[in-house]
Structure 1
Amino acid sequence: MIPKRNLLYIGNKLAAHGKPPTAIDLLSVKFQEEGYEVYASSSKLNKVSRLLDMVSKTIRYRKTIDLALIDTYSTQNFYYAVIIGGLCRFLKIPYIPILHGGNLPNRLQNSKRLSKQLFNNALTNVVPSQYLAEQFKTYGIHNLTHIPNTLEIENYKFLQRNKVTAKLLWVRSFSEIYNPLLALEVVELLLKQGVEVSLRMVGPDKDGSLARCKKVAAELNLPITFTGMLKKKEWIALSKDYDIFINTTNFDNMPVSVMEAMALGLPVISTNVGGLSFLIDHEIDGILIPPNNPAAFVNAINKLRENPVLANTLSNNARTKIEALDWQVIKHKWNSVLRL
């Protein structure tokens, strides 16, 4: 039996402060359950303090760890990965970036030198979708390992909806790249058609988009409920009161919230951007529509309302697809990578 290794996991471990859980919050626990020793950093709220903690722990554990894992995003947090990746190379620590975010291709374009240094010198780069793998290959980065995002299917009770209404659920951070205002346009159009509609929007604010959405919803008197951020168990519990999940994003990779909706039996209508066509097969386990097109959303919603057999077929197929992404399946891929 191959002994388990000692891991340093670098990322934004902020769930203890009420922030949405990220990969490090979830995977570090799962790796420990698999028998790995995991040192995680950082849970510091201040960005500078967080970076200093990441650097400090990398140096402190340099002789203890066998491998560093680095959550890598397209936003400012990209520079955490660049700095820790450079430090790992200096200290001769093998490292693996774990790639997140459908906007990473833009980061490859805008930070070519830093990206090549970070990714080409990695032991491998873990990509959650074939979409992101294809994008990285176009920039000459080929040391890639595909490991899909995962969830624990036992935590998601499947609910078959015999009647589908325009009770809509949206779960995401309120950020311009996720285009939450599009959801409001969809509701407005449905109301103009005389459709009885309601929308619940769940998620924390990132860039002021939540306040803008609330302002527009109030001005137009739209039947929308804003809950702010909820714990996963809370929004899963309320999901049973809704019939359709809408995903309005302009950039995406393999969003866990969409996977969760598929697991729960909510038929999903999503914009066809980034990696979503690799997650959803159109009119087989979900519906894909062009971005920034409220009329297309309305047409898809009405199609599901008028054809519950189609809605149930999509839901059943989606559940089957997500069952193949259960942690008990995906953990074997991680074990293979962590023993490289």
Structure 2
Amino acid sequence: MKLLYLGNQLSKHGFNKTTIETLGLQLEQEGYTIYYASDKKSFLFRLLDMIWAVFIYRKQVSYILIDTYSTKAFWYAFFCSQLARIFNIKYIPILHGGALPNRLKKNPKLCQILFANAHKNIAPSGYLKKAFEKAAFTNVIYIPNSIEIEKYPFKKRTELTPKLLWVRAFASIYNPEMAVKVLQQLQKKSPSATLTMVGPDKDGSLQTTKDFAKSIGVTVNFTGQLPKEDWWQLATTHDIFINTTHFDNTPVSVMEAMALGLPVVSTNVGGIPYLLRDKENALLVNDNDVVAMTNAICSLLEDREQCKTLALNARNFIEQMDWDVVKEGWKLVLR
């Protein structure tokens, strides 16, 4: 079977890999032939490249997969889906971004045109599935983001130190400055506390975060973007993973931290509570609550048994998202 996959294929430009570059490869390994668009850096050129790909491959592919986001990239999905309808090609939006429910409320007519006419809408989280069903879409299927669990060595942490790790693109919606504020508060109780922040810049937030850390006299290790294997190795020298986002769906970096055995402290926004259960496989705090996140970290440092339990539960939970399990859902959709 031949597929066209539309999304932001931008890792060669210094951005993190998105689903198009992970799921696409996994589907290829299952025997599907996949054409891709687009790796163009410019928004306009990327849109034109996607539209051209729909036209070029219109007679060759059985389905078009479309990574569908809530902000500017929403328009890729909208225009390409309507072209697919003209050519009578089945298209499948893959829903991303914790703010998609806001898009459903903001543009109900456009969303109706896009999502109601899809072959299926793939929700990688119970959060988005519930939001779309609440908006009366009946063609929504839950297929979680996946990881290849055998690639993630689980480290049992018998001794916990206040070494924090943050992995995400630097963008305002992910609230990177909160991580710096947490470090500042934590150092008042644990002067040896450190923070490493890994990820590329997306909207100028990297420099803003650096300037903020400098302004309050806090030293942070900014690594820039790292290949997955490098940050996995870096994780072995850190003991707590923090996620500070304002909006979210099912972040792969958090899933990877769970697989690696890093206890996670996160804001409880968007789809996060569908992935992380407070005091079961992670600790959750309210959005932008620096004091609560600092206290949660301190509770982990003081209670090693709690930390051990959270990490083991997180690993057991994430094993359900191994590709060997998740791929069966995709085979059903694409049969």
Matched, 1:172 2:168: yes
What corresponds to 1:261 in structure 2? 257
Unaligned runs of 5+ in 2: none
1:198 to 170, 194, 198: 194
Unaligned runs of 5+ in 1: none
Q: Any runs of at least 4 consecutive aligned residues in structure 1 with deviations exceeding 4 A, and if so which?
A: none
What corresponds to 1:87 in structure 2? 83
Aligned mates of 2:118, 2:282 — CA distance in 1: 35
What corresponds to 1:128 in structure 2? 124
Matched, 1:48 2:44: yes
Matched, 1:282 2:293: no
Matched, 1:226 2:226: no
Structure 1 pair 59–36 and aligned structure 2 pair: CA distance change class (3 A):
same
Percent identity, aligned pairs only, is 48
SS in 2 for 1:145: strand
Deviation at 1:62?
1.1
What corresponds to 1:77 in structure 2? 73
Aligned mates of 1:234, 1:194 — CA distance in 2: 27
Deviation at 1:144?
0.2
TM-score (normalizing by structure 2): 0.98
1:146 to 139, 142, 146: 142
Contact 1:166 1:195 in 2 (8 A): no
What corresponds to 1:158 in structure 2? 154
Aligned mates of 2:262, 2:287 — CA distance in 1: 20
Matched, 1:13 2:9: yes
What corresponds to 1:236 in structure 2? 232
SS in 1 for 2:196: strand
What corresponds to 1:308 in structure 2? 304
Return 246-255 or 18-27, whichever deviates more.
18-27
Deviation at 1:243?
0.4
Contact 2:4 2:36 in 1 (8 A): yes
Structure 1 pair 263–123 and aligned structure 2 pair: CA distance change class (3 A):
same
SS in 1 for 2:254: helix
SS in 1 for 2:321: coil
Deviation at 1:47?
1.9
2:319 to 295, 319, 323: 323
Deviation at 1:194?
4.4
How far does the alpha carbon of each residue in 1:215-254 deviate from its partner, in whole angstroms, 9 at most, with x for none?
Answer: 1211222131111111111111111110000000110110
SS in 2 for 1:305: helix
Deviation at 1:166?
1.0
TM-score (normalizing by structure 1): 0.96
CA RMSD of aligned residues (A): 1.1
Contact 2:240 2:264 in 1 (8 A): yes
Deviation at 1:281?
1.4
